[in-house]
Chains A and B, each alone.
Chain A
């Protein structure tokens, strides 16, 4: 593996709510190598999106990063001023959100917004900026970009808007793009188009990506490594095919068993009982304990993240190898 581009260690992000404070992300550590696509998987409330926002320094009060560090190319990002973060965002790390309409300004044309995004980091002539915009739009698969660039966001379809959002993320050639459920709101046929293009783009431009999603299948088709989160913590990580073939955490295995695509049609799915605990009121010890078949007295203590070669795991009762789902 090449040198780490992004190094997150011990990241903890806390939100103070009226009902008490909660750690949306707790003690999360991982690295992303240059050009690598890492999938960050979890259910709602697992802290996967907050992790993405924390890396970008986009946590607003009542939330704050209480400990840990985020290093990009060796430079610490936690504790940077707003101005420093702003100049870093877009140029070094960019983000693509689930809902492209939230990123695009409805009253500016696509071209205007893109030129503003370039102007924020670099002074280019109007023509040069325009040429770059058209080039990037073409790269993400927008036909007839030279003509459509002066259209407004509402004149694009949902899938096209997401492509524009991706194009804006690519504009300043960042080293890392954080994609938060970028295809969840799209139809499968459009999703397939975008997945294909994102993968070839990452390969061509050498851009690293953190692909945040709840959908194991989508992640498995783009990412080379997977991080699984549960109730704010990283519980399992490793090369994707290995983790999916031989999950070692009972939750990862339960998640795979929950997918209808694997079981025989008509048969009951092997379900995980119960639901994710409230982050304000987490059980003592391992957060997954109340839903886990293997839980015993030992699980009353939070297991540490143990590293074993390329894989890491946070569990006292690691499933033996060879228990494929």
Chain B
């Protein structure tokens, strides 16, 4: 995709590889000429996309596809191995060997609110420490500032005095959202923010996101494996498979007319609520399992499981082509076939 004027976030050819530290013993062995196996994981491979101001982009994929890693690179938690993530033309990470995040305009909400809040810090301090550190609020004004954000996410002001363990999962997730919002970000990266919540609580948090979006106009990268949730709150959707985006386009369009065989298979795998009749539900499951990201297959990463695989797919990796609705496939599906 080309960068448009209204793009707020630009992700340019970002790759992220994880190579475990080579131990001293292994280094010694390699000096002495013995071959040492380095197990590099290609978590994210040359991914590019834009998020326009005020837009919610969904990032969908199965576990191990690299969507969380990509989210953390855009949020400035991990530096990218190659490429860069930018907000308004400024890079998220600084320069150097151990680059640091240079902006507060991108904040993140995590999947597990039991892990993402420090158990020993009171809610009030959790929310105010970032704004205090970056001068968004004075010490004197911190109390009122915290109350304001607690109210915005639907929690009482006296929650500030409590510890995380005194809250339920849904309430903790509200705290985590308040912490991110208190930094007054332009962009929110949400990594599976409703996946660990019960259905009735999940609906409450989804409604909270919808409300924040209406009232604050927050731009979001919404990472999820739950296609129902993504369809409900995202404007555009990017589908990831084994570190690459295989399809990207308007949500309604992707769900109605998937063009990549993987997207199609994913949509077919989702159990749907059966209310019509007692007829047996049939899935068309994708064959096989996700290949290891340690040694991804050559060519198109999906070719081992693709029902439409041809010779070219095994050697030649396809590019992400197309403007509004882009697909990375040599032989994209045309219309939803029977």
A interface vs B, CB < 8 Å?
Answer: 43-44, 157, 159-160, 187-193, 195-196, 199, 214-218, 220-221, 224, 239-241, 244-245, 254-263, 265-266, 268-273, 275-276, 324
Contacts and interface: CB of A to CB of B under 8 A. Distances in A.
A266 B63 contact: no
Contacts of A196: 282-283, 285
B201 A269 contact: no
Contacts of A220: 271-275, 281
Contacts of A261: 228, 231-232, 272-273
Contacts of B251: 265
A280 B263 CA distance: 45
Nearest to B62: A187
A244 B198 contact: no
Interface stretch (B46-54, B204-212, B309-317): B204-212
A11 B288 CA distance: 42
Contacts of B231: 260-261, 265
B285 A189 contact: yes
Contact of A189 (B207, B229, B265, B276): B265
B86 to A, nearest CB: 28
A189 B286 contact: yes
A139 to B, nearest CB: 16
A193 B206 contact: no
A258 B62 contact: no
Contact of B275 (A244, A257, A269, A276): A244
A275 B62 contact: no
Contacts, number: 139
A195 B203 CA distance: 25
A42 to B, nearest CB: 9
Contacts of B201: 43, 275
Contacts of A254: 200
B203 A224 contact: no
Interface of B: 62-63, 168, 170-171, 198-204, 206-207, 210-211, 225-229, 231-233, 251-252, 265-266, 268-278, 280-286, 289-290
A160 B231 CA distance: 29
A269 B282 CA distance: 28
B177 to A, nearest CB: 16
B273 A260 contact: no
Given A187-B63, A257-B203, A265 B252 contact: yes
B6 to A, nearest CB: 20
Contacts of B204: 271-273
Contacts of A157: 289
A242 to B, nearest CB: 9
B232 A265 contact: yes
A255 B203 CA distance: 9
A195 B228 CA distance: 19
A188 B200 contact: no
Given A192-B283, A245-B275, 19 more contacts: A189-B62, A189-B285, A193-B286, A196-B282, A196-B283, A214-B198, A214-B199, A215-B199, A218-B271, A220-B272, A240-B274, A240-B278, A245-B276, A258-B203, A259-B199, A259-B273, A260-B232, A268-B210, A275-B170
A252 to B, nearest CB: 11
A258 B202 contact: yes
A257 B283 CA distance: 24
Kindly list the 8 A-B residue pairs having the minimum CB-CB distance in the complex, ordered from nearest: A258-B203, A260-B232, A192-B269, A261-B228, A43-B198, A187-B62, A192-B285, A192-B283
Nearest to B280: A199
A190 B273 contact: no
A71 B269 CA distance: 37
B283 A195 contact: yes
Contact of B276 (A187, A193, A241, A272): A241
Contacts of A270: 203
Contact of A260 (B203, B211, B274, B284): B203
22 contacts: A157-B289, A187-B290, A189-B265, A189-B285, A191-B271, A192-B283, A192-B285, A193-B283, A196-B283, A220-B272, A221-B281, A240-B278, A255-B199, A257-B203, A259-B273, A260-B206, A260-B231, A260-B233, A261-B273, A266-B233, A268-B210, A271-B203
Nearest to A261: B228
B273 A217 contact: yes
B270 A160 contact: no
Contacts of B210: 266, 268
A269 B207 contact: yes
Contacts of B271: 191-192, 195, 215, 217-218, 220-221
A189 B273 contact: no
Contact of A271 (B207, B270, B275): B207
A244 B281 CA distance: 15
A241 B278 CA distance: 6
A187 B289 CA distance: 10
A157 B64 CA distance: 12
B283 A216 contact: no
A44 B169 CA distance: 11
Nearest to A159: B289
A227 B232 CA distance: 27
Nearest to A187: B62
A193 B62 contact: no
Given A191-B271, A265-B251, A265-B252, A260 B229 contact: yes
